[in-house]
């Protein structure tokens, strides 16, 4: 199972947004898509999901062009969590999550036992099972984010594309969500997640793809991708680097400028 973009060019209103980007994600991989605001991350993710047609280049799912795969099959194999998603009506959380089962249901068929089980699993994993009877207006933005993540998980697709899945979450739930994404990828799902928190992205992802001004400037293991020159060129920041007692290394965005000051460690 592999989703691949080859030499993708995407234009929106005749403005080039992505310029020849390629990316490949396979089963069991957690890929972080990072980059400054306006780099084209969201457009890239939408293109991977088949929501924006590429100007040139192509997207392949197991070698087949995405555009040649029937909609319902695509919907079962590719789950998408979009960034701007809200919940339009005061629907119960359990029903919102159950929307993720729509691609699996035949016309007019009610939720099957398997659907109910998938919904319950997704709610438990995203820590929203206790919210199941609550409705939209009473959810906090973090709770809403987790509900929508649960909705995407309920699809139980082979590939999960998530746009900023942890942005609205508190630190505890950010850690939970990253743990969850890693656990799901270890169970076989291929994941591309747009992330802004470089510390968490570097710590949890198998690979980081760095996007800058519509081009990919790095695609490697986090330690190899987030070098000092790249962070300065792409993000305009410098980071602190350290090593936890258990041997894992971490980075921490520290300065806006390109250079570390002398009084810093």
Partner 1 sequence: MTAPTPLVTRTTPETGSRGLIAGVGLLVATLTVASIAVGYAAIDLPAALGDWLAGRATLPALVLMELRLPRALLGGLVGFSLGLTGAVMQGYLRNPLADPGILGISSAAALGAVVVFYGGLAGSLSLALPLGGIAGAALAALGINGLAARGTGTLGLILAGIGLSSLAGALTALALNLAPNPYAALEIVFWLMGSLADRSMDHVRLCLPLMALGWILMLSTARALDALALGEDTAASLGFDLVSVRIRIVTGAALAVGSGVAVSGAIGFVGLVVPHLVRPLVGARPGASLWPSGLLGAALVLGADLVVRLLPTRPELKLGVVTALVGAPFLIALLFRREQGR
Does residue 95 interact with partner 1 by CB under 8 A? yes
Answer for which of 129, 217, 220, 230 binds partner 1 (CB under 8 A) is 129
**How large is the greatest C-alpha to C-alpha distance in the chain, in angstroms?**
67
Structure tokens at 210: 């760095």
Does residue 13 interact with partner 1 by CB under 8 A? no
Q: Do 9 and 57 form a contact (C-beta atoms < 8 A)?
A: yes
By beta-carbon proximity to partner 1, the closer residue of 32 and 103 is 103
State in Å, rounded, how far the first CA of the chain is from the last one.
45
By beta-carbon proximity to partner 1, the closer residue of 60 and 99 is 99
Q: Which helix (H) or strand (E) holds 72?
A: helix 71-77
Shortest Å, Cβ 114 to partner 1: 10
- What is the C-alpha to C-alpha distance for residues 230 and 104, in angstroms, rounded to an integer? 43
- What is the C-alpha to C-alpha distance for residues 60 and 51, in angstroms, rounded to an integer? 14
Q: Do 219 and 23 form a contact (C-beta atoms < 8 A)?
A: yes
Answer for which of 2, 20, 55, 176 binds partner 1 (CB under 8 A) is 176
By beta-carbon proximity to partner 1, the closer residue of 76 and 215 is 76
Interface residues with partner 1 (CB under 8 A) are 46, 49-51, 71-72, 74-76, 78-80, 82, 84-92, 94-100, 102-103, 105, 107, 110-111, 113, 116-117, 119-120, 123-130, 132, 135-137, 148, 151, 155, 176, 179-180
């Amino acid at each position: 199972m592999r989703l691949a973009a080859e030499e993708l060019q995407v234009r929106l209103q005749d403005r080039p947004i992505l310029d020849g980007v390629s990316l490949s994600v396979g089963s069991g991989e957690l890929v972080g898509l990072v980059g400054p605001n306006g780099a084209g991350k969201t457009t890239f993710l939408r293109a991977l999901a088949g929501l924006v047609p590429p100007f040139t280049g192509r997207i392949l799912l197991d070698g087949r062009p995405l555009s040649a795969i029937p909609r319902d099959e695509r919907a079962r194999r590719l789950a998408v969590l979009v960034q701007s998603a809200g919940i339009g009506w005061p629907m119960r959380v359990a029903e919102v999550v159950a929307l993720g089962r729509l691609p699996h249901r035949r016309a007019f068929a009610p939720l099957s036992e398997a659907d109910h089980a998938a919904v319950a699993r997704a709610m438990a994993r995203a820590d929203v099972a206790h919210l199941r009877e609550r409705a939209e207006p009473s959810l906090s933005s973090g709770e809403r984010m987790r509900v929508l993540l649960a909705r995407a998980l309920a699809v139980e697709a082979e590939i999960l594309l998530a746009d900023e899945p942890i942005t609205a979450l508190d630190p505890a739930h950010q850690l939970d969500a990253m743990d969850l994404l890693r656990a799901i990828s270890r169970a076989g799902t291929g994941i591309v997640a747009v992330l802004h928190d470089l510390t968490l992205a570097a710590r949890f992802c198998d690979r980081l793809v760095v996007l800058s001004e519509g081009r990919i400037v790095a695609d490697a293991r986090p330690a190899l991708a987030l070098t000092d020159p790249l962070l300065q060129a792409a993000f305009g920041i410098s980071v602190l680097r350290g090593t936890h007692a258990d041997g894992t290394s971490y980075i921490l965005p520290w300065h806006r400028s390109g250079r570390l000051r002398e009084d810093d460690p």
